[in-house]
Chains A and B, each alone.
Chain A
Amino acid sequence: MLNINNLNVELEEENKKILNGVNLEIKPGEVHAIMGPNGSGKSTLSYVLSGKDGYNVTEGTVSLEGEDVLSMESYERAALGMFLAFQYPVEIPGVGNMTFLRTALNSQRKANGKKELSAAEFLKIVREKAKSLKIDADMLKRPVNVGFSGGEKKRNEILQMAMLEPKMCILDETDSGLDVDAMRLVANGVNALRSKSRSFLVITHYQRLLDHIVPDFVHIMAEGRIIKSGNAELALEVENNGYSQLLAECG
Chain B
Amino acid sequence: MVKDEVTKYKIACYTSPVESHWANTTRADALSWLNHNGLPNGREEYWKYTNPLSFNSSKLPVKNEIDPSYKKPIFDDINCVKIVFVDGILDLENSDDLFMAGIEIEPLAKANKNEDHWSLGYFGNIEGASQKVVKKTLASLNTAFATEGLTIKITDKVSKPISIVYYHTNEMSEALIHHVIKVEKNAHATLLESGGISSRSNCVMELSLEENACLDHIRVQGRSHERESITYIFSNLEANSCLKSFTLTVNGRLTRNEYVVNINGENAKPHVGGAIVGDTGFSHDDTVFITHSSPNCESRQVFKKVLRNGAKGVFQGKILVKEGAQKTDGYQISQGLMLDNDSNFLAKPELEIYADDVICSHGSTCGEIDPTALFYLTSRGIPKSEAQDMLVLAFLNEAIDEISSNEIQEIISKRLLDWMLKRHKS
Contact = CB atoms under 8 A, between A and B. Distances in A.
Given A53-B371, A90-B373, A100 B395 contact: no
Interface stretch (B81-89, B116-124, B217-225, B384-392): B384-392
Which 5 residue pairs spanning A and B have beta carbons closest together? A94-B394, A78-B381, A104-B380, A108-B381, A90-B376
A92 B395 contact: no
Interface of A: 50-53, 73-75, 77-79, 83-84, 86, 89-90, 92-95, 99-100, 103-105, 107-108, 111, 143-144, 160, 164
A74 B391 CA distance: 17
Contacts of B391: 92, 94-95
A78 B379 contact: yes
Given A74-B375, A74-B378, A93 B383 contact: no
A105 B394 CA distance: 19
Contact of A75 (B382, B390, B395): B382
Contact of B394 (A53, A89, A95, A104): A95
A51 B372 contact: no
Contacts of B395: 94
Contacts of B386: 103, 107
A92 B397 CA distance: 12
B373 A100 contact: no
Q: Which of A53, A74, A92 has the most CB of B within 10 A?
A: A74
Interface string B167-184: 000000000000000000
Q: Which of B373, B379, B390, B396 has the most CB of A within 10 A?
A: B379
Contacts of A89: 376
Contacts of A74: 375, 378-379
Contacts of A79: 381
Interface residues of B, number: 24
B415 to A, nearest CB: 17
B393 interface: yes
Contacts of B376: 86, 89-90, 92, 144
A164 B380 contact: yes
B408 interface: no
A7 B42 CA distance: 59
B417 interface: no
Interface in B329-347: none
B377 interface: yes
Nearest to B396: A94
A54 to B, nearest CB: 8
Given A94-B395, A95-B393, 11 more contacts: A52-B375, A75-B378, A90-B373, A92-B377, A93-B394, A93-B397, A94-B398, A100-B377, A103-B390, A105-B381, A107-B386
A95 B395 CA distance: 9
Interface string B7-30: 000000000000000000000000
Contact of B390 (A77, A83, A95, A108): A95
Contacts of B379: 50-52, 74-75, 77-78, 83-84
9 contacts: A51-B378, A73-B384, A75-B378, A79-B381, A90-B373, A92-B391, A92-B394, A94-B391, A100-B377
B375 A107 contact: no
A83 B370 CA distance: 20
A144 B370 CA distance: 14
Nearest to A54: B371
A83 B376 CA distance: 11
Contacts of A160: 380
Q: Which of A77, A78, A94 has the most CB of B within 10 A?
A: A94
B381 A164 contact: yes
Contacts of B398: 94
B104 to A, nearest CB: 40
B413 to A, nearest CB: 11
Contacts of A75: 378-384, 387
B382 A94 contact: no
A99 B380 CA distance: 13
Contacts of B390: 95, 99-100, 103
A158 to B, nearest CB: 13
A73 B373 contact: no
Given A92-B391, A94-B397, A107 B373 contact: no
B175 to A, nearest CB: 36
Nearest to B400: A94
Contacts of A92: 373, 376-377, 391, 394
Nearest to A86: B376
A219 B258 CA distance: 64
A69 B394 CA distance: 30
Interface in B165-218: none
B371 A107 contact: no
A107 B385 CA distance: 12
Nearest to A89: B376
A99 B393 CA distance: 12
Contacts of B381: 75, 78-79, 104-105, 107-108, 111, 164
A94 B373 CA distance: 12
